[in-house]
Amino acid sequence: MSNLVISVTNFILKWVAATLALWIAERVDPDLYLTFWQVFSTAMAIGIVGTITDLTVLPRMGNGRAVALDFIINVILIWLVPNLFHGAPISMAASLVCSAALSLIEYSTHIFMLKSERLIDRAR
């Protein structure tokens, strides 16, 4: 796999996982988001920012620190992006819970990325 394929796969995994996690959270608490566009745009922001963070931070700092940084960034994005829309009721506590759930997925995604990069390095 090339680095581009790994990056695109990473983005798709993050975007799908964030969409599903936020949609499930919306089903558990129907007042969390007002529209699906808030879920979609938040997941898109998490996918884009998370992929950039993974490409820059993960190779230098390792999985543990990258997951911790992703947790912090996800809390901010999960709270901030919906609040750009009018009347978003999401709370900081809900952002923390959703981000914690996403961190479990982030850990696995980082392992995939690190293993894939090692395979590319061996093939060179």
Residue whose tokens read 């809390």? 75
Q: What total of structural domains would you count in the chain?
A: 1
pTM, whole model, 2 decimals? Answer: 0.87
Calpha distance 1→116 (Å, rounded): 7
Domain that holds residue 28: 3-123
First to last CA, the chain: 12
Tokens 């894939």 sit on residue: 116
What are the average pLDDT values for consecutive 10-residue runs of the chain, which has 124 residues?
80 93 87 83 94 89 92 94 81 90 91 75 57
Tell me what pLDDT residue 121 has: 62
Per-residue burial over 87-122, b if 16 or more Cβ lie within 10 Å, else e, is ebebeeebbebbbebbbebbeebbeebbebeeeeee
Note the pLDDT of residue 48: 95
pLDDT the model gives residue 103: 94
Write down the pLDDT at residue 46.
96
